[in-house]
Structure 1
Amino acid sequence: MTAELLAGIRVVEMTEVWAGPMAGSFLGDLGADVIKVESFPRNSMTRPLVAGLGAGEGEGPPYERSGIHHLSNRNKRNLTLNVRCESGAEALHRLLASADVFFEGYSAGTVERIGFGWDVLRARHPRLSYIAMPGWGAEGPYRGYVTLGSGLDSASGHTAVRGYPDRPMEDTPPIYHSDATGALTLVFAAITALLRREQTGEGSSVDLSQIEAMTWQLPGLFAEWTMNRRLPERLGNRDPHIVPHGCYRAAGGEAGPDDSWVVLAAEDDRQWAALASAAGNPEWAADGHPWATVPGRLGARDAIDGALREFAQSDTAEAIAERVQAAGAIAAPVIAPWSVLSDPQHAARQWLQTVEHPHAGVKVFAGFPWRIAPDASSWDRTCGLVGEHNAEVLGELGYSGPEIAALRQEGVIGEAYGEG
């Protein structure tokens, strides 16, 4: 079973893509009863209606086989609702009356327009904590802007300092780090709101700006400007204070003959002497050599990189790394993506999870970000089907069988896209 830290807590989630859904999964991992409310009849962005658009192999509709949707939607129950109609809105209010936390990930103002703003929630559900996680926050000139992780990546400045200095910035591929920071920040906010309710008896409203959560991940870069008036530069694999610090092409390895690389670094003179010895050139660290000191190495970065490129070409990435590590310096091969699945560290901790899904089949997914003794982390619920728990959840809220059937007939709920 999952951890039991949040056992007895009910969380209602209305989010899409990754940041919000992953936060819901984390809360479910901690033992909360997470009920994911999906829009109906419109499909979620990560539930493709056409095969090939993110849907893996398997039987059944494509929207039940999306990899990103499966990864970020474990340990939840699934309810579909058309909350824009009166009966759907009433069903959501009945659900929120039973909940402790409600969070949504739409642009600012969206839930207010459909009648679920904080003023309404506070009046009807005074013990409920509400968390909004719009990209830009609930206030300010950007409040209504819609964005995804790639937009936050750029706006935070992360894109500007990532990549190689000799390549155009537009060649830097986007990442979605902000989804991860947003997800974890929401977990902190939810637990904090629950603790506050223990003291006051009242719920809280949390305005979680994802761009602000992301920007907090870059304190050194902002300090470089605010304190030193220096714009951070793109350094590739280099470090401004450490030489050597780079990634060098090796003569083959597990990643293949043409794409094997090894990372080498030396933070101090002792590590540099070890690296020089492993490279067969102990004289690089001898007294009087221009590279023997930190200042000397900082001034000879290009020459040292050239020497280490030649050294890396003398053997496989794994052999180079093993030799340098044994000598006492920093080294590691750059592993191929598929090597994650066979990583001995993951295997020793049994981190990867094998999950069976009725439509996607048996798949291996990333595990949990923590271990909490004495509870054993587990994937109790695989990614739910569309509306899989409609009858179960609505029944808990007091709806009778005929009433649930009527909601289905009216298109308020459904178990497949295209029904409404």
Structure 2
Amino acid sequence: MGGFSWPSEAELNELKKVVAEMAGRTTDDVKVVVSPYRICPLGAHIDHQGGAVSAMTINKGILLAFVRSGNPEMVLRSAQFGGEVRFRVDESNHPKKVAKAEEVFNANGSTKLEEECCWGRYARGAAYALKSKGNILNQGIIGLISGSSGLDSSGLSSSAAVGLAYLLALENANNISISPTDNIEYDRLIENEYLGLNNGILDQSAILLSKQGCLTFMDCKTKEYKLVNPSNLKENDVNGVPKSYKILLACSGLKHALTSDTGYNRRVSECREAARVLLDDAGKHEVDAVLSNVEREVYEAHKDKLEPLLARRAEHYFSENMRVMKGVEAWASGRMDDFGKLITASGRSSIDNYECGCKPLIELYEVLLRAPGVLGARFSGAGFRGCCIALVDSDKASEAASFVKNEYNKLEPELVGNITQEAAVLICESGDGARVIASP
């Protein structure tokens, strides 16, 4: 698909200029990590159970401009938050449950306990993950990190994008060669072990492995993945020209930190509890209690033993896993209408069976389904805040965006007031995975 380039030359040059001034270097010395946000059209809430998922990256995300510091010191600034984070990559670092509150340095050199400037913990987490696997770090970085302007990135895996950006920068600065599959594990260490979030590996995998125009399919149990191209678009042809699609990101205006909310981790536990009941009833007491270890036949034979809440969680897992399989087939054959219907069904199951979302997000989901040209919609991310995504006919993307802005504003004017007008509904395209860009 065509469309605007991200990052733009102007964005790159602006970040490089700031870092060059911070470090006393030239802009030619500055490298930039491009770490895109991801969306998950199908495969909601099942990666942590070893299910099958689909994802793609978009042309929005995290940029981290950096140079080697020449010593173990990290000096970091953020385009979105104040303060300056400093620490040494060779010092001891502990996970969240035992870590001391992080110190952030103000422009005048004084220190304060980290509050809103918690963005620095991802850099610490990256150093922790690399060292915990035996990598020696003797080079820090001087860097500036920036998210896509005006965009509420909740629900787009911005945390994984940030963690991976720091991993790639530190690896580059220390001349460490790490495979994408190993970096998936390293970022999981940042999120699960260092920050205490019980998520799966979908986010990291999508950000590292995706390619523009492709759907990334991954079996989270085996870690096997493939990139799926829409090779046959005949059913969507218009006068011999394939009908293209775009992605709508519709922001709800809700803001809530995922790691401080028990809803996500509680549902992970409920899925495991459902798996334990099903496996025990089938006499498989020694099998690890995740739903991917429950065969479909076992689920059908023993699901009546589940109490209603656990039954809903299991039903979401098994129905969503099936939607992913059907979705990959639809995508590969170019049946975007069918793919969109599966996205919508995924959204409905997330509401009814997984019981995530809240009134504003559900309203936004319903508005998207009524928008012209929208093929399918669902929550993005965990569904407790943030945005909804939709697959939309390219020719009607602008009309759909205007419709969603107007209709959602009628329902939630106060929340819409939290969103910048240009970022309320964004028209995006698929993009490439995370990478380091060096000056030409």
State the TM-score, normalized to the length of structure 1.
0.27
The answer to which structure, 1 or 2, has the higher relative contact order (CA under 8 A, 6+ apart) is: 2
Query: When you count helix as a share of all residues, which structure comes out higher?
Result: 2
Query: When you count strand as a share of all residues, which structure comes out higher?
Result: 2
Tell me which structure has the larger Cα radius of gyration. Answer: 1
